[in-house]
Structure 1
Amino acid sequence: MTSHILVIEDEAKLAQFIELELKYEGYQVSVAADGLAGLSAVRESHPDLVILDWMLPGISGIEICKRLRTTGDKVPIILLTAKDEVSDRVAGLDAGADDYVVKPFSVEELLARVRAQLRRNQEENPDILHFEDLSLNRSSREVHRGNRLIELTAKEFDLLEYLLAHPRQVLTRDQILERVWGYDFMGDSNIIEVYVRYLRRKLEANEEKRLVQTVRGVGYVLRD
């Protein structure tokens, strides 16, 4: 499972440092250099976590927090700030940030806070399923491969949801038929192969690696 982290930081060297450290830890990372670009990136790419600088050109980090929370976006936000007064920290948390790190900071502290927020978010949001760079939101019925939004039919979505709910578990054709099409389905069981083919075509449209694997004579499994 690869989490996507968006870094919104206008100080180029610091942004690059954070990006490299996060990538070394195995995260997928995007960077935005100003407030407006950052706000647009959150809304377009739906990251799993945002690392957000307080002082940004265009729109401040505090304003970005407020706008995201006003529209119902619950993405975890870690605020980076040089302001270490208690009143400033309170203002950041009140604006909607989940945590804050005061500059200058150690990368170990930042990484620990990133892990804590991602862990908490996954525990609190069972509607979002992840595997590698693939994510599925049960409530909005949106699917992303990295930053790419994938349009699925209702049945393709149901099939992928079932696979994502049981990662690395081999699912038999009978299990898939019963769960996705219903125990009373009277059609051709080859329908599974047809929909797996549709699904792979969409998931691998940009030549991404295959995640839906065939287990010959048994069924299918989601694994890398």
Structure 2
Amino acid sequence: MALIVVIEDEPDLLELLEYHLLKEGYDVFASFSTKAVEKLLEEEMPALMIVDRNLPGVEGSEFVADLRRNGIDVPVIFLSAKSSEQEIEEGFERGADDYVTKPFNFKELIHRIKAVLRRSKPEEGGILSFRDIVVKPALREVTVGGRKVELTPLEFNLLLELIKNRQIVLSREELFDRVWGAEGEYRGKTVNVAVTRLKEKIDPDKQKHYIRSVRGVGYQMC
């Protein structure tokens, strides 16, 4: 059951969104502000976030842009009264996967949610393996030496991309385009931080050295 986070500061609308999503079979974490969501993200990565832009304390798209800068790649749909062409473009530039303007139709929103969730799934396929790492894309499951490793969606997709291209060195730019998406603004530091976090999870003792850094170029499984 996919977990969907809803951040909306109108109590009645928040309640309605939660009702309709639960009715569709989703697990829902509903909040009036970003603070509780930040705590949730430290423990669990949702399948999708629905974010209002007019929030107390922080503008919703700025909150999402900050998540993106910190390597959090959870899919986001903005649900906002900000409906000008410039505002919608701004929303996509700051990390939206889709943008719905208020007032809106709940059935249309549900269809958009399903479409974003379909797009965000890793490609289906058989089991991939590299040394003692086993990746099951359909289940989003990774084991290392028989030990299950919990990865964020971004870390999972990063590992998948590296394993699929194990025979070549992937530049930081290539990894950013394939994992973060070509719409984002490339930042080498973002890739470096994400690779470091992935290494810590699949090789906590720093003895197996699955990923090598090629100075001035990028990364390769080794």
Taking only aligned residues, the RMSD between alpha carbons, in angstroms, comes to 2.4
Change (3 A) 1:101 1:154: same
Query: Which residue of the partner structure matches residue 83 of structure 1?
Result: 82
Provide the TM-score with structure 2 as the length reference: 0.57
Q: Partners in 1 of 2:124 and 2:63 — Cα distance?
A: 22
Query: Which residue of the partner structure matches residue 166 of structure 1?
Result: none
Query: Which residue of the partner structure matches residue 104 of structure 2?
Result: 105
Q: Partners in 2 of 1:99 and 1:57 — Cα distance?
A: 22
Query: Which residue of the partner structure matches residue 45 of structure 1?
Result: 44
Is this contact kept in 2: 1:7–1:32, CA < 8 A? yes
Q: How many residues align?
A: 140
Alignment partner of 1:31 is 2:30: yes
Q: Partners in 2 of 1:77 and 1:122 — Cα distance?
A: 14
Query: Which residue of the partner structure matches residue 162 of structure 1?
Result: none
CA shift, 1:123, in A, is: 3.8
Q: Partners in 1 of 2:111 and 2:38 — Cα distance?
A: 24
- The code of the aligned residue for 2:146 comes to K
Larger Rg: 1
Provide the secondary structure at the position in 2 that maps to 1:120.
helix
Query: Which residue of the partner structure matches residue 146 of structure 2?
Result: 155
- The code of the aligned residue for 1:157 comes to K
CA shift, 1:19, in A, is: 0.6
Change (3 A) 1:17 1:43: same
Alignment partner of 1:55 is 2:54: yes
Change (3 A) 1:12 1:129: farther
Change (3 A) 1:13 1:137: farther
Change (3 A) 1:97 1:55: same
CA shift, 1:41, in A, is: 2.4
Alignment partner of 1:64 is 2:63: yes
CA shift, 1:43, in A, is: 3.6
- The code of the aligned residue for 1:51 comes to I
CA shift, 1:7, in A, is: 0.6
Q: Partners in 1 of 2:90 and 2:119 — Cα distance?
A: 22
Q: Partners in 2 of 1:65 and 1:81 — Cα distance?
A: 14
What per-residue deviation string (whole Å, max 9, x for no partner) do you get for residues 200-221 of structure 1? xxxxxxxxxxxxxxxxxxxxxx
CA shift, 1:124, in A, is: 5.2
- The code of the aligned residue for 2:17 comes to I
Q: Partners in 2 of 1:80 and 1:17 — Cα distance?
A: 13
Runs of 4+ with deviation above 4 angstroms: 124-131
Provide the secondary structure at the position in 2 that maps to 1:30.
strand
Is this contact kept in 1: 2:8–2:52, CA < 8 A? yes
Provide the secondary structure at the position in 2 that maps to 1:63.
helix
- The code of the aligned residue for 1:155 comes to G
CA shift, 1:39, in A, is: 2.9
Provide the secondary structure at the position in 1 that maps to 2:103.
coil
What per-residue deviation string (whole Å, max 9, x for no partner) do you get for residues 119-166 of structure 1? 0011459878677xxxx553xx7xxxxxxxxxxx953428xxxxxxxx
Is this contact kept in 1: 2:123–2:137, CA < 8 A? no
Is this contact kept in 2: 1:9–1:53, CA < 8 A? yes
Q: Partners in 1 of 2:33 and 2:136 — Cα distance?
A: 28
Provide the TM-score with structure 1 as the length reference: 0.56
Gaps (5+ residues) in structure 1?
A: 142-152, 159-224
- The code of the aligned residue for 1:99 comes to D
Q: Partners in 2 of 1:32 and 1:125 — Cα distance?
A: 33
Gaps (5+ residues) in structure 2?
A: 126-134, 150-222
